[in-house]
Each structure stands twice: as structure tokens, then as C-alpha cells.
Chain A
Amino acid sequence: MSDSATMETIARLVPPGSRVLDLGCGDGAMLAYLKEARRCTGYGIEIDDANVLACAQRGVNVIQLNLDEGLSLFDDATFDVVLQIDTLQHLRNAEVMLRETVRVGRIGVLAFPNFAHWPNRLSVLRGRMPVTRRLPYQWYDTPNIRVGTHADLALLAQRSNLRVLDSFGIEGGKTIRFAPNLRAGTSVYTLSR
């Protein structure tokens, strides 16, 4: 999800000047953008060596950490916003991390590939796991340990007693508010305790 339209759409959910924690920050592009365009400060968490290096090259604060070990480094409500952009699908303890996200941050912003996007549904109807631009991996060779849908996350949020402040989809860089579970490749949620 590196296209700039999508990144900007998600960045708009982050109030200017926010203190941000980006869980699974990748190469630090989002943090660098938030720093530059929205005067944000903060840190990225990343496990991958190459990404940690990329963050250092961008001048983004990065902490190398396995998110499956939790967020004990961070006290309650120490961030305005905690981002989980395309991270959820890689975590073993997604439910715990969801609660951790809103413990450490006043709001949590989640984005992940929506498995219920209609091309995925078509593919499964044909009896095959989807391979798309958004989910570009073969089923037997994917870093994603789970897939979920826009609708699924609403239920998980409810189950975890989290407040959904906003939710929508993104497709082709555009915000999708009508039937996002069907029409959007990316699902976005803004959550709080």
C-alpha cells in the first residue's frame, strides 16, 4: 500500500502536530510524510533489518522490536495516534495488539487489506484464493498470517469494547463510504477506548 493517494488519505486521519507511534512502520515513508506535511513527531516500530535501515536513512526515529512481544516499552496514552498500517495481517496476537494500540494511543488508526473486496470474492467463488495488486501473494507463499474483512473488524472492535470513531474503505486512492466491505480493497478504522 505504497501509493501516495492512499497514504495521504490515511495521513488526513492524523491531526496536525500529533505524537505518532507507527506499528510496523516499514521504510518509514508514512512517518516521514507526517513529519513533513503535518508537523508530527514520533517513532516507528519495525522488526525487519532492511526497513530499520531505511528509516534511519530517512531520519525517522525507529525502534527495532517484534510486535508479537507486545508494547510494554510504552506507557498508557503516551501517543496521540497509533498507526497500524498493513500490520494487523502479520501479527499473531492481533486482538491483543488492537487493545494495546488504543491503550498506548488516544486514537488508533488501522488499515488492512479487505478480503471481502469483490474481486477477492469472485476469485473465491471460482474456487481460488485471490492474487491481486492489494493481495499479491500466492496462498502458499504469503507473509500474511491471516486475512479479514472490513465487516470482521467491526465485530472484533465490538468484542474488544473499542469505540469505532470512523470507518471506511479506500480503493484506487479514493475514499469509499458506500458499501466499503464490497467495494474497497483497503479497510480503514479509527478507534479509541
Chain B
Amino acid sequence: MHFAAVLPLQSGAQIRDYALSFETYGRLNADRSNAVLICHALNASHHVAGVYAGQEKSEGWWDNMIGPGKPLDTDHFFVIGVNNLGSCFGSTGPMHINPDTGRVYGADFPVVTVEDWVNAQARLLDALGIQTLAAVMGGSLGGMQALSWTLQYPQRVRHAVVVASAPNLTAENIAFNEVARRAIVTDPDFHGGHFYEHGVIPKRGLRIARMIGHITYLSDDVMNEKFGRQLRSALGQETAATSVGAYLFSTQEVEFQIESYLRHQGDKFAEYFDANTYLLITRALDYFDPARDHGGDLGLALASATSKFLLVSFTTDWRFAPKRSREIVKALLDNRRDVSYAEIDAPHGHDAFLLDDPRYLKLVRSYFDGVLKEVAA
């Protein structure tokens, strides 16, 4: 959807003549009360559920969560997936033309924040004729957007489902983002962010960015279980535990299975993801900090939230650890908000929020059953 009106950004910059890609699932009911907005994290898109006709492996990124009969049941809810500004899946981003210059934005794409995204999403809802969301839901950076919705538009959100998220990033977390950004920016093919006009892509940087990201999305245990010390040369011959193939005694070859996996993930990612988008989105993560305007007091920051909350964290998630979710829970408790919180004992680290854990999926289903009762009432 195209938006002609200027969107003022938190940085003081603005963006005009932009487009947002979105998909909807299910049907908006007569009183327009059953809409649920899904906010995506770093590398996802508006395609949250279902498959595209005739395209294999085109399942939406939260297809296990959203769809007919799924925990967020599109037989009952009208679900909206939206691609954020600056991303690279159809919405206006760094690879598009800047209407002010007639040239590709590249590195000149304005820095966008979680708050800016939420403002843009709110305009999309305006255009769709939806005043109030039954719920807003997201995981990780998506959870930050869901939380921000309850602060920026408290009167427009009845429920917020915030999964594997945090009230801000810790220094360690920003550090990981910075390593990823430096990998991209120092790639000779980056060309100060204007690589499009050189006909190249800083793939080396993107690959490394993705590799480090991937490490932080998994847990030590799950990585060991999946790969252990298994050698690539021994792949398929033995189990991870008994792998005793011969070392290559090479510093450059792929020796261990985990290396092969990370390289593969990096290669895949570099094929489809935009380098400038990676910089923008990790920066949005870094900047998010609703308590900042309240002397660091999250309780004060969340005083304006009036919606009801479900928070979920995963015990082995060290990138968005349970204690970060508990900070949000505490701030909501201090404000006497309706909040439920589950800490799912899943082994998969941060990635768990995208995976099939029956406790997690059943809980979300039950929560949305309750939301539906309110909507129907």
C-alpha cells in the first residue's frame, strides 16, 4: 500500500511516498474488532502464514502459529502481517528510489526506530479502517513493536502478546549487533552503503553477520546435540557422539559440521537479505528503550499501557533471556495491569519462539481463546 503523506521519524528526519507490503488472513468481522497485527523481527516479512500458490517451501515464517485452526486461528481472527519500513521484502527500503534525489537510497535511507515502525503500522490500520486491534503480537524485535504499540497507541490495543523479547538490549546484545554491522560495513563490496550502483553485494559481510546472529539464536546444548564435534568428512557415517573421522589439518577448509552449517546459513542469507536493511534493523533493536525517557524506570514508562498482556520467554534463550521478560512483567505488575507470563523450558534458545513447542503453542491458543470471547462479547 502506498502512502503519500510524510511520516515524521523519531530522528527528526522524515520519509514520504513510501509503500508498505502487507498480507491479511481471515475475515474482518462486522464491527472490525477481530484484527490481530503481527510484527516481524530481523529477517522476516509480512508473509506470516500460508503458502503462495504453486510455490514450494513458501510457508509464512509463523505458519505453525497462525492459520486456520492454528493457535492464532484465522477462522476467527483477521490477521495482518506487515513488512516494516527499511526492510527488504517489498516495503520501501534502502534498495528503493529516494523521491527527493531520484537515486537509490542505499546508506541514505533514514534510520528508523521501533516507534517509527509502529507509527507506520498505525497508518496502515487507518487505511484498512481498523481503529482497535484485538491484539498485537510479535517475537523478539517483533515483541518490542508489540510492547511499543501499547505505549504509543494504548487506546488501540486490547491485548499484546510479547514473545522472547526485552525492554531494551543489553550491552552484550548491542555488541553482537555491532560485530555483525562491522562485518558488513568493512566488506570491500559495501561501498559506503551504495553498492547497488556498483553492481555488487557485500555478501561476505552479510554471511558473517548471519553466522554470528545464528550462534546467538541457538543454545549451547542444542548446538552440541545437533552438531557436537562431528566432522563434515564423517557426515552420515556416524552419529555426532561417536564421530572419529580423520582431521583435515586445515585452517581454512570446513572441518566441523557446525562450520558447514553456519556457512550454509550465511550463504543462504546473503542471497536474499539486503545489507543496508541489516544495519537499519539491528540499529532499531539497539535504540529501542522505552524507559529511556523516564529516567530508566520501566515501570513509569509502562504506566501508559492499558492493554492486557501475555509474555512468553524460553529458559535457554540467552539473547533475549527470561529475566528481560520478567523486567517487563514486573513493570506491568507495578502498574497493576492484567498480565500473564510463561517461561517455557525449551532447549532451543532464542529460536524457540518460532518452533513447535506444544506448551507454548497451547498457551497462545488458550490466550487467544480468551481474546476471542472478549471480541465476541
Report which A residues bind B (CB closer than 8 A): 19, 41, 43, 49, 52-53, 55-57, 59, 61-65, 73-75, 78
Contact = CB atoms under 8 A, between A and B. Distances in A.
A75 B363 contact: no
A73 B363 contact: no
A62 B363 CA distance: 11
B294 interface: no
Contacts of B344: 49
Contact of B359 (A49, A65, A73, A75): A49
Contacts of B329: 63, 73
Contacts of B362: 53
B334 A56 contact: no
Interface stretch (B32-40, B224-232, B365-373): B365-373
Interface centre among B310, B341, B369 (most CB of A within 10 A): B341
A56 B333 contact: no
Interface in B115-137: none
Nearest to A21: B333
A51 to B, nearest CB: 11
B339 A64 contact: no
Interface string B343-377: 11100000000000001001100110110010000
Nearest to B308: A61
Nearest to A60: B340
A192 B166 CA distance: 36
Given A49-B359, A73-B333, A64 B338 contact: no
B363 A61 contact: no
Given A49-B345, A52-B363, A53-B362, A59 B330 contact: no
A43 B333 contact: yes
Nearest to A19: B336
Contacts of B363: 52-53, 56
Interface of B: 310, 326, 329-330, 333-334, 336, 338-345, 359, 362-363, 366-367, 369-370, 373
Contacts of B345: 49
A63 B369 contact: no
Contacts of A43: 333, 339
Interface centre among A52, A56, A62, A74 (most CB of B within 10 A): A56
Closest A-B pairs by Cβ, 6 of them: A56-B366, A57-B366, A63-B341, A64-B343, A59-B370, A64-B342
Contacts of A57: 366, 369
Contact of A53 (B336, B343, B359, B373): B359
5 contacts: A43-B339, A53-B363, A61-B338, A65-B343, A78-B333
Contacts of B310: 56
B230 to A, nearest CB: 32
A51 B46 CA distance: 34
A148 B310 CA distance: 37
A55 B366 CA distance: 9
A65 to B, nearest CB: 8
Nearest to A63: B341
Contacts of B334: 75, 78
B237 to A, nearest CB: 38
Given A59-B370, A63-B340, 18 more contacts: A19-B336, A43-B333, A49-B342, A53-B359, A53-B366, A56-B310, A56-B340, A56-B363, A56-B366, A56-B367, A59-B373, A61-B338, A62-B340, A65-B343, A73-B326, A74-B333, A75-B334, A78-B334
